[in-house]
Chains A and B, each alone.
Chain A
Amino acid sequence: MLPPDDKKREITARARQRGIILNEDHWKLIAISYEYYDQHRTICTLRNLIKLSGLEKKQIYKLFPGNPIGEISQITGLPMPKEC
């Protein structure tokens, strides 16, 4: 479930500001995160992201360096859980 086009443009711009040029794999992870949030009202954890995407943890760290879930949250605006 990808966000609407205007939201996608916003996400692309925000990612670029953070030094990330979004490719197909990035969008796959973003789509999963949106879908997960829609169902569970909380951002998808790294473990779930690994399982749902089929990508390796290391790959996800390469795509969204530092703190992948934090990056996805910053870029998409999906809120982090309170403890983070």
Chain B
Amino acid sequence: MPGDSKEFPLCHELMKGRSPSHVRELSNSRYPLAMYEHGLATGETAYGHGGYISIPELPSGVAVRNSCRPEIIEESAYLRILPPAGGWLSAVTLEKLASCAETYGKGLIHLTSGGTIEIYTTREQMVPMVRELNAAGLDIGSTGNDLRCLTACCGPARCDMALIDAPALATYLGQRFIDEQQYPGYPQKVKSGVAGCPNDCIRAMMQKDHSFIGVYRDLPQINNEVLAAWQEAGGDLAGLIAACPAGALTWTGTTLAIVPNKCWHCMACINLCPAIRPGRERGVAWVAGGKYGHRGPQGPMVGYVLVPFIPVKDDDYTAIGDLFGAFLELWADNARKKERVGDFIARVGPLWVLKELGLKVEPQILLSPKRNGF
């Protein structure tokens, strides 16, 4: 472990205890701990603003953070690796990433909140590292004004709620739009996510410029036999009925029913009770314009539900890809410089966007354009 407790006392404080410690990870790598100690001591990070750097062979996926303490480290350059959708990484891939981080970097990997994988290295080591990553089926991208990596929830590979195969759709879109992830050319970055159901565990609707959410169009299915067993085992029927945000659940005295035109097709009752399962008519809701960022006139915002239901049959995602591509072109041609998708839609109006794309306007887009799918 580099540095003893006298050298980096503040860092060592953060290594104590049984809970995992980020400083333990940093100190087990060749990360310059003096930089972090500087931040802890002064209350200000030792890293300065950074930017995207130009490596001729690598138009995207390379960036740097500047250093305010060049005597410790001159700069911190890094590669941004496109993640396999759904957060799925085999031990073999992790070993490849680890070996690249050891060989070309500081033996350190950063999993970013945006879903990408970053490895810190030097400008000179970038091209050889990318060659090795490519040979292992991995690639870089997702920096600058490009299409950022397509993220997804774990989907049906692990979750019983999945209404659509979120990682499969994200992989389809990622492969179809790979050039857009690797050759920046948009007015601003575009983040996208796919959630398998309206529970939206990856919070796509609130933080991604584009989210595709698995939805069902018919009514949830109730199995009254399973319901009786659930009640017998202590299931709280009154609590279940009260949890419905639309007041659509009714109890006849012997059976539970759903008032069709009241139901929002959310997941509240399904999450609470094993006797209620999602409807069978499955598809995708397209939500555009979500963002956490404070920049832009709208600030942070939930996306607009532009198309409440795009049917998905036999895992054919062509129609979704066509729509996604058409929107990106429309936005890129008409957006102001640095205008995120949400600010763009707020400025031109969701109805204009739908008209330009030749799409039908659904009444709920007018009544509640930003209503969370759940």
Contact = CB atoms under 8 A, between A and B. Distances in A.
Contacts of B18: none
Nearest to A66: B54
A70 B55 CA distance: 13
A70 B338 CA distance: 17
A14 to B, nearest CB: 16
A57 interface: yes
B56 A47 contact: no
Interface string A6-50: 000000000000010000000000000000000000000011001
Given A47-B332, A47-B333, A83-B337, A57 B183 contact: yes
Interface residues on A, range: 10 to 19
Contacts of A61: 59, 183
Contacts, number: 30
A66 B58 CA distance: 7
A50 B183 CA distance: 12
B33 to A, nearest CB: 33
| Interface SS of B by simple majority | loop
Nearest to B329: A47
Contact of A65 (B57, B337, B338): B57
B59 A66 contact: yes
Interface residues of B, number: 15
Contacts of A50: 185
B56 A57 contact: no
Interface in B261-313: none
Nearest to B144: A67
A67 B56 CA distance: 8
B95 interface: no
A75 B280 CA distance: 59
A67 B338 contact: no
A81 B332 CA distance: 18
A64 B179 CA distance: 16
A65 B185 contact: no
Contacts of B186: 47
B183 A66 contact: no
13 contacts: A46-B185, A47-B185, A50-B185, A58-B179, A58-B183, A61-B59, A65-B54, A65-B56, A67-B52, A67-B54, A67-B59, A70-B54, A83-B338
Interface of B: 52, 54-57, 59, 179, 183-186, 332-333, 337-338
Interface of A: 19, 46-47, 50, 57-58, 61, 65-67, 70, 81, 83
Across the A-B interface, give the 5 residue pairs with the lowest CB-CB distance, nearest first.
Answer: A66-B54, A65-B56, A46-B185, A61-B59, A57-B183
